[in-house]
Amino acid sequence: MENKRILVLGGNGFIGAHLVEALAEAGARLRVLDRPGSLPPAPVPRVEYRYGNFSDIATVAESLVDMELVIHLISTTVPGTANRDPIADIEGNLVGSVRLLQQMCDAGVPKLLFLSSGGTVYGNTKAIPIPEDHARNPLSSYGIVKVAIENYIGMYATLFGLEALVLRVSNPYGPRQSHLGVQGVIPTFFHRILSGDKIKIWGDGASLRDYLYISDLISFIVGAINADLGGVFNVGSGQGVSAKEILSLVADISGAAPAVEYLPARGFDVKDVVLDIAKAQQAFGWSPQVSLRSGCETYWRWLKGAGAPAEPV
């Protein structure tokens, strides 16, 4: 990792900011490219920050100069917004990502790490937990675009020798994660409790999801780079938890009794998503370390601004 030249696309976001800090601490030479107006929680010393749109060919080309690895974290949509405007999803994410692959080849950048979606690419499955070789039948534009990007990465790997690592990540959460009202059950529930708003649950709240604390995701990414991994890996907790169970946990931790509104299930929401993480565990001895309760307690302390440590205790 020492002096490895890495470009982090989307390095000021929730995952990106945590990752940049960890990579800098490991000795990497980092350049961040993020959208104009985005700012890191706190600029990391010796990191080069650049600002421009992912769709700006010249900006991306200039950012690729002298890089050894690109970490692609950018997504202009989430599952709910992607379905409302699939064309914008395709233009903003698929076209931009394929253009990036071509620019990397043109610039001689040999390696890519892409964060895909463990929650949407598989669709409704026959197996729980879901292994990496399960068929991908996404129900949302978000998942369809992620699968298409994965397929183009495979094409560039086969035809042009691109070295690629694709991570199908579950639902990461933790300090600094904002509440946008469209993504993230754990931060949304806690934010609504703090503001006294009603918690809304789509469907009956029984569907299972896989939640991963941010430090566990970051430890896998850093370890994967050190191990020079390639291929496709599920990265999650390997445990399924329902929205009702999250609601009960959030209420217990906060000491609140939130009002809850159940809304009709959405057609693009898959029933159950629990990732099989055996391949990730075997890759270099990685396993999630933070329990759901401990991670949620830490998030709640951070959200209240109580000055608690930024890691679980």
Grade residue 69 by pLDDT with cuts at 50, 70 and 90: very high
Give residue 180's pLDDT: 55
The letter for the amino acid at 138 is P
DSSP string over the chain: -TT-EEEEETTTSHHHHHHHHHHHHTT-EEEEEE-TT---SSPPTTPEEEE--TT-HHHHHHHHTT-SEEEE---S--HHHHHH-HHHHIIIIIIHHHHHHHHHHHHT--EEEEEEETTTSS-S-SSSSBPTTS----SSHHHHHHHHHHHHHHHHHHHH--EEEEEEE-EEE-TT----SSS-HHHHHHHHHHHTPPEEEETTS--EE-EEEHHHHHHHHHHHHHHT--EEEEES-S--EEHHHHHHHHHHHHT----EEEEPPPTT--S---B--HHHHHHHS----S-HHHHHHHHHHHHHT----SS--
Q: Which residues of 198-211 are buried (b: 16+ CB within 10 A; e: fewer)?
A: ebebeeebebbbbb
Look at the block and give the residue holding tokens 């959460």. 173
Nearest to 273 by CA among 178, 139, 161, 145: 139
Largest CA distance in the chain: 56
The letter for the amino acid at 300 is W
Domain count across the chain:
1
Answer whether residue 107 is part of any domain: yes
Answer whether residue 296 is part of any domain: no
Domain at 71, CATH number: 3.40.50.720
The mean per-residue pLDDT over the stretch 241-270 comes to: 91
- Reply yes or no on whether the pLDDT at 306 is more than 80: no
C-alpha distances (whole Å) from 17 to each of 7, 73, 162, 165 are 13, 11, 26, 20
Answer whether residue 289 is part of any domain: no
Answer whether residue 144 is part of any domain: yes
Q: Which of 67-71, 94-98, 303-307 has the lowest mean pLDDT?
A: 303-307
Q: How far apart are CA 208 and CA 273, in angstroms?
A: 6
Give residue 268's pLDDT: 79
Give residue 190's pLDDT: 94
Catalytic one of 49, 142, 211, 299:
142
pLDDT in tens, 8-61: 999 999 999 999 999 999 999 999 999 999 988 889 999 999 999 999 999 999
pLDDT in tens, 75-89: 987 776 788 899 999
Give residue 181's pLDDT: 45
Give residue 179's pLDDT: 62
Strands 241-242 and 208-209: antiparallel
The mean per-residue pLDDT over the stretch 106-125 comes to: 96
Residues spanned by the domain of 38: 5-174+211-236
Nearest to 292 by CA among 216, 223, 218, 195: 216
- Active-site residue 142, yes or no? yes
- 8 Å CB contact between 38 and 51: yes
Give residue 313's pLDDT: 38
Answer whether residue 252 is part of any domain: no
Give residue 147's pLDDT: 98
Answer whether residue 200 is part of any domain: no
Q: How far apart are CA 221 and CA 217, in angstroms?
A: 6
What residues contact residue 122 under an 8 Å CB cut-off, 6+ apart?
130, 134, 135, 136, 137, 138, 270, 273
φ/ψ of residue 312, rounded to 5: -60, 150
Answer whether residue 64 is part of any domain: yes
Answer whether residue 80 is part of any domain: yes
Give residue 220's pLDDT: 98
Q: What is the pTM of this model?
A: 0.94
Token pair for 49: 């920050």
